[in-house]
Amino acid sequence: MLDTALWISQALILMALALNVYRMIVGPSMPDRLLALDTMYVNSIALIVMMGLWLNSKTYFEAALLIAMLGFISTVAVCKYLLRGDIIE
């Protein structure tokens, strides 16, 4: 039961990542692409957590935490650049 649920959930997350890539390529403006990148970070965290469930190991959670922190910081940095034209004033 758990294997089937993992397969279904991974397929759904993969489709979500494909939709994010579509929005990142097509996206008419810069904040659209930034939003797509931010969502890709979150979806990749989900994928890593499910890989940890699949391999039955707890090694990958530090990587997921690192991706979460760096994703937030990079989103804020690019937003500041678009807002002010400068990151650290």
To the nearest whole angstrom, how small is the minimum distance from the Cβ of residue 41 to other proteins? 10
Distance CA 53, CA 20 (A): 24
7 near 15, Cβ under 8 Å?
A: no
To the nearest whole angstrom, how small is the minimum distance from the Cβ of residue 54 to other proteins? 11
Distance CA 34, CA 61 (A): 25
Tell me which residues touch other proteins (CB under 8 A).
1-2, 4-6, 8-13, 15-17, 19-20, 22-23, 29-32, 34-36, 38-39, 42-43, 45-46, 49-50, 52-53, 56, 58, 61-62, 64-65, 68-69, 72, 75-76, 79-80, 82-83
List strand residue ranges (DSSP E) for the chain, in order. none
